[in-house]
Structure 1
């Protein structure tokens, strides 16, 4: 799908716009790109350190180096099949730290729930601050806000209904399933019952703060974007995050989403596309490098 998006976007640009994108990328100030990559590494470290709290609650004292590099490898795997990295991370921590797969995977699911909640905070802030712009955007894209609202409410109702049934129902098939998934459930609930839950929450916000800063810093790499307001940045961050979350690393989708959002603020398409590719490519290269380093170092560091 990502390749199809790239092909579509490439063919929608004129020769002049393509030349402008090349010039922007060539003349960008890559100091800011390197700075954003440093923040990305910090976010990886914060995610690895946050994981220790959940694993400690379950009785497993893992090495920070193993946590960090399994996180890096999981990001690399996510570039192939969306969300497959979570399974890989649980499998690696089982291999190198002997944490049961179901419990490790449960802690990762708990992470995703917390991350999703924080992301929705960004979405709410963005919608409140930029309602008119977003409303116009959805109109231009032939998307009904009512449909989005009803879909969100329906999803929430289904999630609550599932939790109620899971907690209180005593159907024989459900009891058997609960028994089989006891480790997974324990991992998910580790956040709620852990002693250091507030440190866990703090690092969760630290991770997302780093994500926002990672997106914001490259703004200064291009002269045409260095003066854009934070309201534009927050909207680009929200839709860029959605593109990454629902595709294999945001390939093609990230630059396209950035160009659509920035276009609402009258930023030329070629500049928006250049920024999108600059931010996405730099982060993807870092993901590949750290993932490969982790893949090579993990067996070496854990030789017995």
Structure 2
């Protein structure tokens, strides 16, 4: 943005101002619905361990977690487990274990979406990755290296009698119980349904934004999905995608032929809509959690 001209900035702002507010509002509602569904899905993993919790507290825990991620990336997962431990008496390590398993399920869905994008946009995607000097093989090798280090670390901890490692093993036992809850829950199909529903809402709320801008309305589903994947990684790797998400999404759309000002407007509107959902419900949750649970 710093290198853009005054005219380009004006065109970008005009595209944002002229965007169809109806579709932006629909996207907002879909985003809120996905978070509500995520909170509802959580109960399926807590029940096998004997913990019952209110939908309101689970939803507010989810929202304060997303809000916390704007400050410190991935800190929200910890805060989410702490919140449920505080207001629903679910042990931290078990609650955190369910969140880890939940993220694994989400990762599988994201991998499926990436697979579809690769099939739909193979040639263009390879050109884009090469143009951005992104080496998927290097990323895979780094990931495998990290997995190897984790496995070695686990074996060292398991065999050691050192007191700090004993405490780690106790914590790991609780985490493992929480993670295993995904295997013992009674309503597996309901969990699968909500997992698919959550990601369907993510995709649709992102896809609908294209209808708010005339220049992006005719963009193909394959290109939109490619931008969605890049945006997902941008959010995961940063604190809520601040400053990165709009440019990453806009960059993909521009690469595939969308006018630059419209592509960047798409990125900013999409990010702003998702962010507003989190700021609104996350902020309210921070206020309401202690008020609604004052007896606890």
Show the counterpart of 1:192: 183
Residue 125 of structure 2, aligned match among 112, 124, 134: 134
Q: Determine whether 1:207 maps to 2:198.
A: yes
Show the counterpart of 1:162: 151
1:56-67 equivalence runs, <5 A: 56-67=47-58
CA distance in 2, matches of 1:105, 1:145: 30
1:19-168 equivalence runs, <5 A: 19-151=10-142, 154=145, 158=148, 162=151
Identify if the C-alpha distance between structure 1 residues 17 and 67 changes in structure 2 by more than 3 Å, giving closer, same or farther: same
Identify if the C-alpha distance between structure 1 residues 152 and 93 changes in structure 2 by more than 3 Å, giving closer, same or farther: closer
Alignment deviations for residues 99-122 of structure 1 (CA, whole Å, 9 cap, x no partner): 111111111111111111111111
Alignment deviations for residues 230-284 of structure 1 (CA, whole Å, 9 cap, x no partner): 0111101100111111100011111111122112211121111111111111211
Q: Determine whether 1:250 maps to 2:241.
A: yes
Secondary structure at the counterpart of residue 111 of structure 1:
helix
Residue 238 of structure 1, aligned match among 220, 229, 234: 229
The TM-score normalised by the length of structure 1 is: 0.90
Task: Say whether the 8 Å CA contact 1:53–1:194 is kept in structure 2.
Answer: yes
Aligned length: 292
Quote the offset at 1:196 in angstroms. Answer: 1.7
The TM-score normalised by the length of structure 2 is: 0.92
CA distance in 2, matches of 1:245, 1:209: 18
Secondary structure at the counterpart of residue 11 of structure 1:
coil
Quote the offset at 1:182 in angstroms. Answer: 1.4
Q: Which runs of 5+ in 1 are unaligned?
A: 1-9
Secondary structure at the counterpart of residue 267 of structure 1:
coil
CA RMSD of aligned residues (A): 2.1
Q: Which runs of 5+ in 2 are unaligned?
A: none
